[in-house]
Amino acid sequence: MTAPANPEKVRRKPLVLGNWKMNGDVAASEQLLSGLLRGDRELPDALAGVEAGVCPPYPYIGLAAARLAGSRFGWGAQNVAHFEDGAYTGEVSATMLRDLACTWVLVGHSERRALFDETDAQLSAKVEFAHRAGLIPVVCVGESRSEREALMTEQVLAAQIDGLCAALTSTNEQFVIAYEPVWAIGTGLTASPEQAQQVHAFIRSRLAAGRVPGAAGVRILYGGSVKPSNAQALFGQPDVDGGLVGGASLVAEDFLSICRAAALRSIR
């Protein structure tokens, strides 16, 4: 993959992923999945041009696979082991996720970095195992509120991206970046469209500086309190290629409406 001469002309298919986190049960998951399928049946054209999927908790991935197979929606996981296989009690490997026909796997969500002390070495291993298994890693990066206030946003993101560049460039496999300012996750605070664009453009330039092949074609999602009311403005920015959605992905109508906002991006 070589970078195109004119990055402005690169078309990136909008992508919206729902991160259900550790929420729900079988009944709630069934209800949410049927809501998504119903929404697609009722307004199929409104979702044409967008790629979308959900990342349920591990025990419900099989259910999502069974219900969503053959639909417009894909599915993925919220995490993956940084080991290949073997005596790692409680872990789930990339090949197991591939067995469940997952397309995506989130890597380095800020909750995992903060609560489970995930390191760059572990995240790099996750990216590598995901690629080997044929999964698309969705690498999450973002700064905390205090880092933003100290004007360290670019420095923090540069370190997070540089820490993973070797893993991201070791193969020609696809990956997605999700910019999720930690101060905006689950708080109701959202980066303004201009703030998001500024950071997304920075991320893209940093990928290119790290010699990531085809940096202009990498999809960069925004995450952090994306809602039906702010999705269109965020996705209207040139480098915001869709969203990673937490809370609003637990309500089928809201998630569908965010997917429809992203679909508008593909017809601009």
Nearest to 66 by CA among 94, 24, 26: 26
- From 118, 143, 147, 180, active-site residue: 180
State the Cα–Cα distance between residues 145 and 236, nearest whole angstrom. Answer: 24
The letter for the amino acid at 259 is C
Please say if 109 is a catalytic residue: yes
Angle between helices 26-42 and 252-266 (to 10 degrees): 40
Is 223 one of the binding residues for ligand PEP (CB under 6 A)? yes
Active site residue 82: no
Task: Between 52 and 244, name the residue whose CB sits nearer to ligand PEP.
Answer: 244
Q: 124 vs 225, which CB is nearer to ligand PEP?
A: 225
Q: Using alpha carbons, select from 154, 262, 167, 168 the residue that is nearest to residue 215.
A: 168
Q: Pick the stretch among 124-132, 204-212, 224-232, 254-262 that binds ligand PEP (CB under 6 A).
A: 224-232
54 sits near ligand PEP (criterion: CB under 6 A) = no
Residue nearest to ligand PEP (CB): 246
Could you tell me the smallest distance in angstroms from the CB atom of residue 213 to ligand PEP?
A: 27
* Residues contacting 211, CB < 8 A, separation 6+: 165, 169
- Least distance (Å) from ligand PEP to the CB of residue 111? 7
> Which of residues 169 and 232 has its CB atom nearest to ligand PEP in the complex?
232
CA distance 137 to 127: 6
Using an 8 Å Cβ cutoff, are 80 and 114 in contact? no
Does residue number 224 form part of the binding site for ligand PEP (CB under 6 A)? yes
Give the phi and the psi of residue 117 in degrees, each rounded to 5: 50, 40
* Interface with ligand PEP (CB under 6 A): 19, 180, 185-186, 223-226, 244-248
